[in-house]
Amino acid sequence: VFYTPFDIGYKVSKFLPVKLVASGMKEIYRAKKIHDGVAHAAKLYPNAYIIMIIIG
């Protein structure tokens, strides 16, 4: 699966600043995907605000 000598990968991934950066990037990417979905729904259905709310 994932192997590094002396569990360096595990130690780095459990280091708090690395975890904070990774979780922040994950949330930014999640928000981007939601925004892209709503923008795509707005292109398909320009006046259907309920559909955009449901998609988002």
What are the tens digits of pLDDT across the range 5-54? 888 989 999 999 999 999 999 999 999 999 999 999 899 999 988 988 88
Residue 42 CA: distances (Å) to CA of 14, 21, 50, 54: 40, 31, 10, 12
The structure's pTM equals 0.72
Q: Please give the pLDDT value at position 28.
A: 98
Q: Supply the pLDDT for residue 25.
A: 98
- Tell me the three state secondary structure of residue 14: coil
Phi-psi category of residue 6: left, alpha or beta, with phi > 0 → left and psi -120 to 50 → alpha: left
